[in-house]
């Protein structure tokens, strides 16, 4: 069992405050939004209303924002029904403190969904997702799990595989929608679907950006207005490299970004230029080169990426 999950269960017993509130809802109609908290209730509902229909799935950990709303709208355009999961997955966190601090506001999440599109929400407890005897799905992730997010968040992508596979197993969607902001996560989900021959189409969606270019993220809720302004350096650095890439190659570009961050209040964790398919470092610019970056604004860790073409 994931160590963070072990600590989480030991500390919280059977549920967090959010889990307890969600569990008490059982099944509730909220205008455009129906909420289900158990696998049995959700599957029974889908079997009743979505048989021979297209079902889109948007996985989230709550703290929903405009980027999530964009994914939901895209799913609603593609599919007859859209299922949105709201589940803070402990197996994705290698840091128990980060799990504890992750923003949670279920009422606000439902309000955003209700204003966006007609959706079905699946908001299970940890015990519902990972019952006694649960065996996590594993796969050899290769280099994509060894660099950048994989290097700085050991075990994170094992948790991604575990939870996404479990959701796909429960919901059986025809399509699932992931944002390109989490480029490695998207690649891993695509490989998982291919490796296990799962009958679902993974739809990659453009990163939703706020004014100035800051990528929409649940973690932005923990930033002050001043930090949000200073966090623009993530996108601005990548965009500047893209605009000036004829001046220098990827290696020199990394050094340039490091220099720019020396005059910033943010702490750079990594800057890499990689092939978006193999995730190998590149020595020259190609159509498939992506710039990937992570940095801390105070205690809040932010990441971004853009295509260099």
CA–CA separation, 26 and 185 (whole Å): 31
Calpha distance 202→204 (Å, rounded): 6
Q: Who contacts 11 (Cβ-Cβ below 8 Å, separation ≥6)?
A: none
User: Tokens at residue 170, please?
Assistant: 């429960």
Helix, strand, coil distribution of the chain in percent, nearest 5: 45, 20, 35
* Active site annotation includes 156: no
Give the phi and the psi of residue 205 in degrees, each rounded to 5: -120, 140
236 CA to centre of own chain: 22
Residue 298 contacts residue 274 (beta carbons within 8 Å): no
Contact of 143 with 278, CB cutoff 8 Å: yes
Contact call for residues 44 and 19 (beta carbons, < 8 A): no
Tell me which of 65, 68, 156, 175 is the catalytic residue.
68
- Separation CA 285–CA 145 (nearest Å): 23
Those residues whose C-beta lies under 8 Å from the C-beta of residue 128, and which sit 6 or more positions away, are 37, 38, 39
Residue of 178, 181, 148, 186 whose CA lies nearest to 294? 148
Tokens 């290698």 belong to 94
**Catalytic amino acids?**
68
């Amino acid at each position: 069992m994931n160590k963070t999950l072990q600590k989480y269960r030991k500390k919280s017993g059977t549920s967090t405050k959010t889990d307890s509130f969600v569990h008490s809802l059982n099944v509730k109609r909220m205008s455009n939004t129906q909420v289900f908290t158990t696998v049995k209730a959700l599957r029974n509902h889908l079997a009743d209303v979505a048989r021979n229909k297209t079902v889109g799935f948007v996985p989230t950990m709550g703290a929903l924002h405009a980027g999530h709303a964009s994914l939901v709208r895209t799913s609603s355009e593609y599919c007859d029904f859209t299922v949105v999961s709201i589940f803070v997955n402990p197996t994705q966190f290698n840091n128990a403190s980060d799990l504890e601090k992750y923003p949670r506001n279920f009422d606000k999440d439902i309000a955003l969904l209700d204003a966006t599109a007609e959706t079905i929400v699946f908001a299970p407890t940890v015990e519902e997702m990972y019952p006694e005897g649960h065996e996590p799905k594993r796969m050899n992730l290769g280099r994509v799990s060894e660099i950048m997010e994989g290097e700085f968040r050991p075990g994170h992508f094992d948790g991604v595989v575990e939870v996404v596979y479990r959701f796909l197993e429960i919901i059986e969607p025809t399509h699932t929608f992931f944002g390109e902001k989490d480029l490695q996560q998207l690649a891993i989900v695509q490989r998982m679907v291919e490796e296990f021959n799962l009958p679902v189409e993974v739809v990659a969606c453009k990163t939703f950006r706020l004014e100035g270019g800051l990528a929409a993220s649940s973690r932005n809720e923990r930033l002050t207005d001043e930090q949000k302004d200073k966090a623009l350096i993530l996108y601005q650095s990548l965009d500047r490299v893209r605009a000036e890439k004829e001046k220098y190659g990827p290696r020199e570009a990394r050094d340039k970004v490091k220099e720019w961050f020396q005059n910033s209040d943010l702490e750079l964790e990594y800057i890499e230029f990689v092939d978006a398919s193999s995730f190998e470092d590149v020595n020259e610019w190609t159509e498939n080169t992506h710039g990937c970056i992570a940095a801390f604004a105070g205690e809040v860790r932010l990441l971004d990426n853009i295509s260099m073409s």
